[in-house]
Amino acid sequence: MSARIIDGAGLAARLRAGYRERAAVLAAQGRRPGLAVIIVGDNPASRVYVRNKVRACEEAGFHSRLIELPAATTEADLLGRLAELNADPAIHGILAQLPLPAHLDSARVIEAIAPEKDVDGFHVASAGALMTGLPGFAPCTPAGVMAMLAAEGIDAAGRHAVVVGRSNIVGKPMALLLLQAGATVTICHSRTPDLAAMTRQADILVAAVGRAKLVTADMVKPSACVIDVGMNRDAAGRLCGDVDFEPVREVAGWITPVPGGVGPMTIAMLLANTLKAAERT
């Protein structure tokens, strides 16, 4: 039987409608949620992502501020901008779109964002909170995956979750969230000797490596839940994930499409974190 397709776009739209209502309540109290998005340089993919984030804010009735800086911006200038935003009561969330130009130190830039406004969840304070189970902002993509599992009634407790990818943005926080939810978690990466032997053990398989169609049907346990975080182009230039969708959907129990799966959930979680930041003020 073919897998159930998890409709991330539909779920994200329902969540965003709820966030809009909560934002209206805050706005009536003079606390309209505000997100500042900084982009440095003219990376075309980053420009699309940033535009989508700003548009989602506007649709949910949030205040948004897009700060577009030239590629030659100095680190001192960028840190100065962040200090201003940290002190601005109209701004509850701040994100600096990655990647930054090579002359800027991403770690130093991220650490300059006040942890209470770190709605991307990339600050070491946010990572530490996630690691230790303290309240904080979880990175948006893995948080979106957990929201999808919850919406599908998939309980990770007692299941074997295999995460392929070990980035700070997705793989590592994904593993921690699944662990927190009671899963037994394996993290695989480019140095894992027999990837298929690991992925075949997964009740929940999360692919987050950025390699088109890396996960093939023979790598998937029948009836597993397969979450595709990848966003790649195939040989024909079509958008595709890290999972070979058509063959894998014949084996899996659940599968997320690309596009329309995890991507829209990332933006929904950004709004959720911004709302949470505003509600705390």
Q: How far is the CB of 132 from ligand GUN (least distance, A)?
A: 22
Among residues 163 and 169, whose Cβ is nearest to ligand GUN? 169
Q: How far is the CB of 75 from ligand GUN (least distance, A)?
A: 17
Q: How far is the CB of 266 from ligand GUN (least distance, A)?
A: 6
Burial track 87-126 (b if 16+ CB lie within 10 A, e otherwise): eeeebbbbbbbbebbeebeeeebbbbbbbbbbbbbbbebb
Among residues 120 and 242, whose Cβ is nearest to ligand GUN? 120
Q: DSSP characters for the chain?
A: -PPEEP-HHHHHHHHHHHHHHHHHHHHHTT---EEEEEEES--HHHHHHHHHHHHHHHHTT-EEEEEEE-TT--HHHHHHHHHHHHT-TT--EEEEPSSPPTTS-HHHHHHTS-GGG-TT--SHHHHHHHHHT-S-PPPHHHHHHHHHHHHTT---TTSEEEEE---TTTHHHHHHHHHHTT-EEEEE-TT-TTHHHHHTT-SEEEE-S--TT-B-GGGS-TT-EEEE---EE-TTS-EE-SB-HHHHHTT-SEE--SSSSHHHHHHHHHHHHHHHHHHT-
Q: How far is the CB of 122 from ligand GUN (least distance, A)?
A: 7
Among residues 116 and 247, whose Cβ is nearest to ligand GUN? 116
Among residues 219 and 267, whose Cβ is nearest to ligand GUN? 267
Q: Minimal CB distance to ligand GUN: which residue?
A: 98
Q: Which residue is catalytic, options 7, 97, 172, 221?
A: 97
Q: Would you tell me which residues interact with ligand GUN (CB under 6 A)?
A: 95-98, 120, 140, 169, 266
Question: CA 2: distance to chain centroid?
Answer: 27
Q: Which residue is catalytic, options 7, 118, 120, 228?
A: 120
Q: How far is the CB of 38 from ligand GUN (least distance, A)?
A: 9
Q: Which residue is catalytic, options 53, 117, 172, 213?
A: 53
Known catalytic residue at 53: yes
Known catalytic residue at 180: no
Among residues 162 and 262, whose Cβ is nearest to ligand GUN? 262
- The catalytic residue positions are 53, 97, 120
